Every structure is written in structure tokens, then in C-alpha cells.
Amino acid sequence: MPLVLASGSPQRRAILARLGVPFTVRAPNVPELGSGDPGEVAGVNAERKARAARRPGAREVVIGCDTVVALGGVVYGKPTDERSARATLTALGGATHEVLSGVAVLLPDGQQRTAIARTAVTFRALDGALLDWYLAAGEWRGRAGGYAIQGAGAALVRAVEGDYENVVGLPLATLLDLYPELLSGR
């Protein structure tokens, strides 16, 4: 059964590609929720992406995913500029935040399987020099919470509790729980 990843994220593509499963990318352009209950935001956005990428009548499986960072019920999305990235990272510094990914799997028979993955990430205390160093790298661009744990952002992290791949952008454990058939062709 053809598999479609409803995402333009290179991290999601790389995680899925490591499984050796053939798929195509169909990155939808849909309005996303940016505030509200963090789990609901991630879940609704994942479903919107999957539905927007689905082609009517096509015999394919569509996977949508959306990842948000939350601290104290506040959703920290992708910073719009370096100033907002600094504010986001400052808020996360020295604290444990949650990375939530909504995953939506749409099957050709109309069935929809959804779940929310949660991972706790504890940041080191971030002083001005560390923030300046990270912001200068520019890695914060296009990243929920303003960091990429798989890159230089690893220097900001003290601990991860849960699925590391969720923090990167595609929670494999959750995806395989929802759609174990993903690996049936191997």
C-alpha cells in the first residue's frame, strides 16, 4: 500500500527513510493552531496535515505529524525571528518542558488512527554566552521551541525522558503502535 508522509520536514523524512520503507512526501500548506491545550494543538494540526495531503479515492496510507514544545501549558512554536528565539530559549532554560507530537494515520478504508506522544526534556541553565553561541548557529529557524536536539541544540539539553525521536520530530514508537503494518513489507 503506498505510503504518504504529509510533511515537508527533513527530519521526519530522514527518520522514516531509516526504516527502509518506501514513501512519498506530500507537504500540505494548512493553517495550524498555535495556542491552546498543547496536546490538542499537536493533534489537530497532525490531522489537518494528513487530511490536506489525502487524495480522494486514492488507495494509500497518509501519515500526518505535528510537534509542539510546551512549558506550563504555554505552546512554544517556531520562533519568527532571533529575538523570539532568544525569548523562547530563555523561558525553557533550566526547566523541564514537554515535547508533544500529534500523529494521525489515515487509512484508505476511511479509518483514522491518532495519538499524542509526550517526551520530557530538561534544559541546562542557559547563560548569555551559551544562548549567543546557539542563536548565532541559526539552527533555531523553523524549529518548534527554537532548537534542534539532533544538532547543536544537544548542547542545551541536560536530560531526555521518553522517545528521543519524538523530540527530533517523528515519534516512531507511537507511529508503530498506531500502524504496525508499516513494517509488514520488510
CA distances from 79 to 45, 88, 134, 135 (A): 17, 8, 14, 11
| Residue at grid coordinates 514544545 | 69
d(CA 181, CA 178): 9
Taking phi over 0 as left and psi of -120 to 50 as alpha, with beta for the rest, 75 belongs to beta
Give the pairing of strands 3-6 and 24-25.
parallel
Q: Of the residues 66, 81, 132, 177, which is catalytic?
A: 66
d(CA 38, CA 70): 6
DSSP string, 50-74: HHHHPPTT---EEEEEEEEEEETTE
Cell numbers given for 26 = 506530500
Is 81 tagged catalytic?
A: no
118: phi then psi, degrees, rounded to nearest 5: -130, 130
d(CA 68, CA 169): 9
Q: Which residues are tagged catalytic?
A: 66
